[in-house]
Amino acid sequence: MSASASPIGPRPEPLAILYVLDAFPVLSETFISNEIRAMRRMGHRIVPFSLSHYNGPCQPEDEPMKAETLRLADVSTVRAAVFAAMHPRGMAAAMRFANRQKGLRPRSLLRAAARVALTARQQGCSHLHAHYAAATSATAIAAAAIAGLTCSFIGHGCDIYGPSFDLPVKLASADVVFATCDDMANDFRRMAPLVNVRVATCGVDPGRFVPSTDAASNGRLLAIGRLVEQKGYPVLFEALARLPADRRPAVDIVGGGPMEEELKQLAIDTGLGGSVHFLGRMPSAWIAREGPRYQGFVAPYVVCRDNDKDTGPVAVKEALAMGLPIVASRLMGMKEYVNPSCGRHVEPGDAGDLADAIAWLTGLTGAQRQALGAAGRQHALANFTLAAQAAINTAAIREVQAARALR
């Protein structure tokens, strides 16, 4: 064996992946930028590609990603058409997919896909990966067909359980599909029995979200999430109103959204004006700094009227990493994130159950709270890190590329 040889063989070449995104970077979608950074730490080259033009707010640490994000509007339609014409077999496969799906007009989908395919080849990418099972996944699938590349997508929530299009077709057409929790993976298998699915929960950085060194808390509860129906804030308010005033904790809500004025008025109408505090949107740096000081975390998420629901909320895993005891709905991924060693489940939409759980949480002694928090952090370290997510993504993509090479 030569001095340069390794007993376990040569290290695999880094992957080059085009991430197909609707808009990027977005303030409330830190799970995408975090995933990109985690994949890059593994040595992979990740090229973010946005289907739409977006210049809205994002996390401060994501600002540098704005300049490097490629955009559909900047890709020549003429050059893309020439590229597609040079790959007739791939274009025929893309047309078959475009005609099977119903969410987008086939011609519009193929035009966008040709531009994405051209960009992927120009960037030297060998794989396309999309977030959300919507236009992004359809475009990635068609583009991969044109360019002769492998592709994948990850589902999240509204794209799977809200109004959705062509899920069985997309599941059957991608080389590998990622689910954020076991329930979602099982739902994918019911829709498309032959789907190649892996569970890759959106992870957190345990080196950034760490417990407080001070055993004392600020005596308040923390809730994080957009002010939308699936976050269950009306149920939280009803639960708080059921508690005696002298046992009712203060709750700080981080997030903004379309229900802001409605929820503020509801808090007043239910007599919670002094107990519920709307802090608005906060950067993730604020959560990492202030989060560990709270007494606990509450996640009263519900199933919406259109069946939309949270599937793998990052905020819950950040709370675990910060050592906060958690009260969470028994729903989707939260069934995996929270267990009796680190928190308590409640039935979604059950204000009485939630009130009992909040009373339990606020009645914990300092020692009990620390024990639950320590168990929760160990749970996060073992199962929900960004490094683990990136490793799952990498292994799955390498596997499908190896299988493609053998055909």
Task: Evaluate if residue 163 carries a pLDDT over 80.
Answer: no
Label residue 6 by pLDDT band (50, 70, 90). very low
Encoded tokens for 292: 């560990």
Instruction: Give the mean model confidence (pLDDT) for residues 142-155.
Output: 98
**Which of left, alpha, beta for 143 (phi over 0: left; psi -120 to 50: alpha)?**
alpha
Buried b (16+ CB within 10 A) or exposed e, 208-238: bbebbeeeebeebbbbbbbbbbbbbbbbbbb
Task: Please say whether the beta carbons of 127 and 15 come within 8 A.
Answer: yes
Percent of all residues in the chain with a pLDDT value above 70, rounded to a whole number: 97
CA distances for 392 relative to 55, 103, 385, angstroms: 31, 29, 11
Q: In 3-state terms, what secondary structure has residue 314?
A: helix
Cis status, amide bond into 25, omega within 30 of 0: yes
Task: Evaluate if residue 56 carries a pLDDT over 80.
Answer: yes
Encoded tokens for 33: 């930028």
71 forms beta bridges with 50
- Residue 318: phi and psi, rounded to 5, are -65, -40
Q: In 3-state terms, what secondary structure has residue 12?
A: coil
Instruction: Give the mean model confidence (pLDDT) for residues 362-389.
Output: 96
Residue 215: predicted pLDDT? 77
Task: Evaluate if residue 364 carries a pLDDT over 50.
Answer: yes
Residue 2: predicted pLDDT? 41
Task: Please say whether the beta carbons of 146 and 301 come within 8 A.
Answer: no
Task: Evaluate if residue 9 carries a pLDDT over 90.
Answer: no
178 forms beta bridges with 154, 198
- Residue 269: phi and psi, rounded to 5, are -65, -30
CA distances for 305 relative to 159, 230, 300, angstroms: 15, 9, 16
Residue 343 CB coordination number (10 Å): 29
Label residue 384 by pLDDT band (50, 70, 90). very high
Residue 11: predicted pLDDT? 76
* CA geometry: angle 309, 310, 311, nearest 5 deg: 110
Q: What is the mean pLDDT of the chain?
A: 94
Q: In 3-state terms, what secondary structure has residue 273?
A: coil
d(CA 31, CA 343): 23
How many Å is the maximal CA-CA distance in the chain?
Answer: 77
Q: In 3-state terms, what secondary structure has residue 325?
A: coil
Segment 95-144, tens digit of pLDDT = 999 999 999 999 999 999 999 999 999 999 999 999 999 999 999 999 99
Q: Where are the alpha helices (DSSP H) in 11-103?
A: 30-41, 63-68, 77-85, 88-100
Percent of all residues in the chain with a pLDDT value above 90, rounded to a whole number: 90
d(CA 318, CA 384): 9
Residue 78 CB coordination number (10 Å): 7
Residue 346: predicted pLDDT? 98
Amino acid letter, 37? R
Residue 5: predicted pLDDT? 43
49 forms beta bridges with 20, 70
Task: Evaluate if residue 28 carries a pLDDT over 90.
Answer: no
d(CA 396, CA 68): 26
